[in-house]
Amino acid sequence: MPALRIEKKSGEWKVAPQLRDYEALRESFSWAKAAAEELQGLPGGRGLNIGFEAVDRHALGARSEQCAIRFLQREGGHEDFSYGRLYEATNRFANLLASLGLKKGDRVFGLLGRVPELYVTALGALKAGAVFCPLFSAFGPEPIQTRLSLGEGKLLVTTAALYQKKVAAIRASLPYLKHVILVDAAARPDTIGWREAMSNASPDFVVPPTDPEDLALLHFTSGTTGKPKGALHVHQAILAHHVTGRLALDFRAGDVFWCTADPGWVTGTSYGILSPLSNGVTMVVDAQDFDAQRWYQILEEQRVSVWYTAPTAVRMMMKGGSELSRGRDLSRLRFIASVGEPLNPEAVLWGVEALGLPIHDNWWQTETGGIMIANYAAMDIKPGSMGRPLPGIEAGVVRRREDGSVEVLPDGEPGELALRPGWPSMFRGYLNEEARYRKCFAGNWYLTGDLAKRDTEGYYWFVGRADDMIKSAGHLIGPFEVESALLEHAAVAEAGVIGKPDSTVGEVVKAFVSLKPGYEAGETLKRELLGFARTRLGAAVAPKEIDILPALPRTRSGKILRRLLKARELGLPEGDTSTLEGGA
Ligand code: ATP
Ligand code: MG
């Protein structure tokens, strides 16, 4: 493990972090107390509703005029939604659902990019008691069809172009789908026009009684390890969204927050909509996809104070070179965090160089609904570590025994990362896969499918996904370690590492890399990279083979698809590729 440490000195804060004394807060924290202090609950003791906490309580309170979301348009320009405006729009959408005959628990799907209608759909559906499910707008017809039928989607909100291209032809095969709303078209025989329907709906709406255990969200996993699973979440999840936003992203009044996640992925909802709004901050949403220049410009011009992004995006910015950040006034930026994949130590340090701040890695999954392990503003960072569990979260590194019981492993030993069930945003099931859900639990632990180690200071270190581990000549090798070492080489932009079956040693480590601009692929560079990795990792762990690819296959949420690299290497079927970026 790298010995490097970025110290946080308490005398140097511009503003004191929300979580100052980690140990003390862990000690005193309880979810019940947090719920009483940080959420409002529906008036009259009628329960807890995500939409109410995210929008109504602010709109009906002191934040009605405050900007809730600033939408940056592709061609420049922006549209602001105050909490008051968002309240009215979501009220109208909730009324529209009732007029279409949608009932509590019915599924509302969004197939939209980062446009205002997506946010109104999600929040309005939650207020009405419907279950919201986002889809990647880049999905092709097949993944859309699978998810809409599995999820029994009753209403779909999309654009005219997306509908024409991807949904019209499969509509007849979707018996549950009763209505389609097009956000940018007038009513047609088989679709509803957003504008007209919204203006006919009343702007007054009272959120109906909502049990904290009522279903609220359906999120399909990224499909990194196989066929995506549909994780079900309940209204109570908002407590975890809220608390983790405050403690792990350091939200406070006056913040301008930018989450770059695609709305089709769980991060795009938990932290791209719900957590920041519940915390009453102002969000920036950019309709455009990644562009390094544009991103620096947004950080500067929108005076972003808290930024939440992903390792892929960071690596793409690194590829562009830190010169792009020169001359930018990023003095408003106070906190940067990343999620989705391991954040290589190289990337944490690049943050300091290019943005003036380290990047704080945090770990969670679709199933956990919110951040579980994090590097906090006030805590030293050990680059390469995911940080420590949130207050209210008990984590452990365990081994599942043959008899189904679970053994907690000592510090330093790699094992499966496990969490004690009971936090509010924990998934309540996999859609139609009860047995698979049950298999995730053993000995009063939820087993995450990720392998990790904990050090003596309680920091967690990601080792790899259980499925990606490589067994070579008696060594268990995590791809992350090997990939991080390769990324230290100036030529390497991305790295993905797999185990390739070998009759002598079981598996040999094989690496795939893509290069930064200005570097030439060829045998000389390959040899250099293999030698470079060997000096850093030793012969037992270093890759024996390396291929240079123009780009690595990734999921739409930005994760390197190692199983696809492996299938292609071995000439095996590619399996479910519905979430492959650039795929159909
Ligand atoms: P599937 O479950 O369908 O294979 P997925 O696990 O990639 O897909 P998500 O729920 O979107 O779907 O991703 C969660 C996973 O991403 C985690 O289990 C972990 O493997 C990885 N991950 C997320 N954050 C981190 C992090 N900070 N460090 C390392 N890995 C991370
Ligand atoms: Mg997973």
Residue labelled with tokens 């650039």: 582
> What pLDDT does 532 receive?
97
Ligand 1 pocket test, candidate residues 363, 371, 453, most atoms within 8 A of CB: 363
Mean pLDDT by groups of 10 residues along the chain of 584 residues: 78 87 97 98 98 98 98 96 98 98 98 97 98 94 93 98 97 96 97 98 98 98 88 98 98 97 95 98 96 95 98 91 87 96 93 94 98 97 97 97 94 97 98 96 96 98 92 88 94 96 92 95 96 93 96 92 95 92 69
Tell me the pLDDT tens digit for each residue of 293-329.
999 999 999 999 999 999 999 999 998 887 888 899 9
Ligand 1 pocket test, candidate residues 341, 556, 563, most atoms within 8 A of CB: 341
Report the alpha-carbon angle 451-239-388, nearest 5. Answer: 35
Ligand 1 pocket test, candidate residues 309, 336, 344, 365, most atoms within 8 A of CB: 365
Q: Is the CB of 124 under 6 A from ligand 1?
A: no
Look at ligand 1, atom 23, and give the residue with the nearest C-alpha: 340
Evaluated on CA atoms 256, 258, 263, 269, the torsion sign reads negative
Residue 59 host element (H or E) = helix 57-59
Q: Using the mean position of ligand 1's atoms as its centre, give its distance from the Cα of residue 239 in Å.
A: 22
Q: Using the mean position of ligand 2's atoms as its centre, give its distance from the Cα of residue 339 in Å.
A: 13
Q: Is the CB of 462 under 6 A from ligand 1?
A: yes
DSSP conformation letters of 290-359 = --HHHHHHHHHHTT-SEEEE-HHHHHHHHHH-GGGGTT---TT--EEEE-SS---HHHHHHHHHHHSS-E
Count of Cβ atoms closer than 10 Å to residue 256 Cβ: 20
Listed residue (174, 201, 49) closest to 111, CA to CA: 174
Residue labelled with tokens 């004690």: 420
Q: Using the mean position of ligand 1's atoms as its centre, give its distance from the Cα of residue 340 in Å.
A: 5
Ligand 1 pocket test, candidate residues 559, 566, 580, 581, most atoms within 8 A of CB: 559
> What pLDDT does 584 receive?
46
> What pLDDT does 325 receive?
86
Q: Which ligand is nearest to the CA of 310?
A: 1
Q: Is the CB of 556 under 6 A from ligand 1?
A: no
Q: Using the mean position of ligand 2's atoms as its centre, give its distance from the Cα of residue 33 in Å.
A: 30
pTM strictly above 0.85: yes
Q: Using the mean position of ligand 1's atoms as its centre, give its distance from the Cα of residue 536 in Å.
A: 26
In CATH, what is the architecture of 469-570? 2-Layer Sandwich (3.30)
Residue labelled with tokens 């699978």: 146
Tell me how far the alpha carbon of residue 242 is from its chain's centroid. Answer: 15
Tell me the pLDDT tens digit for each residue of 176-218.
999 999 999 999 999 999 999 999 999 999 999 999 999 999 9
| Percent of the chain's residues with pLDDT above 90 | 89
Q: Which residues contact 378 (CB under 8 A, 6 or more apart)?
A: 8, 10, 13, 17, 19, 20, 21, 22
> What pLDDT does 350 receive?
94
In the chain, where the domains are located: 10-454, 469-570
Q: Using the mean position of ligand 2's atoms as its centre, give its distance from the Cα of residue 371 in Å.
A: 14
Look at ligand 1, atom 31, and give the residue with the nearest C-alpha: 341
> What pLDDT does 3 receive?
64
Q: Which ligand is nearest to the CA of 222?
A: 1
Q: Is the CB of 361 under 6 A from ligand 1?
A: yes
Q: Which ligand is nearest to the CA of 366?
A: 1
Spatial separation of the C-alpha atoms in residues 23 and 379, rounded to whole Å? 11
In CATH, what is the architecture of 10-454? 3-Layer(aba) Sandwich (3.40)
> What pLDDT does 292 receive?
93
Q: Is 438 exposed, middle or buried (0-12, 13-18, 19+ CB in 10 A)?
A: exposed
